Amino acid sequence: MPHIVIEHSKGAASDAALHALCVTIFDALAAHPAIPKPETLKLRTIEAGAHLLGTKGQSFAHATLRLLPGRDADTKSELTQVILGVMAERLGEVHSLSVDLADLDPAYAKRVLPD
């Protein structure tokens, strides 16, 4: 179920680098005990058309981890740190990296076609 949406500035990374970032985050979260069903992970990137940071450097990547409610604060912190660590490793030249976490509403619904 976890969704990871990574917003980034134009030119922060190539398409290949962003795909590699998604793969590495997927693998890191799939190995974490708080993600018992890695097949439910969903990752995507979204390029920001226009943005302005209050710092001299203007490149950024910001990940939002969305989870169903139920994990404790320590686990949530561990998961965001895993994502931030991968982002720092894969996007080392990007000026600003950040991760936020949001609990989804328990009424979240989805539909998936069978394999």
Residue 45 falls within a domain, yes or no? yes
Higher pLDDT, 98 or 52: 98
If one counts the domains in the chain, the total is 1
DSSP string, 11-69: TSS-HHHHHHHHHHHHHHHHTSTT-S-GGG-EEEEEEESS---SSS---EEEEEEEE-S
Residue 109 placed within a domain: no
31 within some domain:
yes
CATH number at residue 91: 3.30.429.10
Residue-number span of the structural domain to which 43 is assigned: 3-103
112 found inside a domain: no
Q: Identify whether 113 is part of a domain.
A: no
Q: Is residue 70 part of a domain?
A: yes
Per-residue pLDDT tens digits for 25-47: 999 999 999 999 999 999 999 99
- 54 found inside a domain: yes
Q: How many Cβ atoms are within 10 Å of 33's Cβ, its own excluded?
A: 7
**pLDDT single digits (tens) 58-91:** 999 999 999 988 899 999 999 999 999 999 999 9
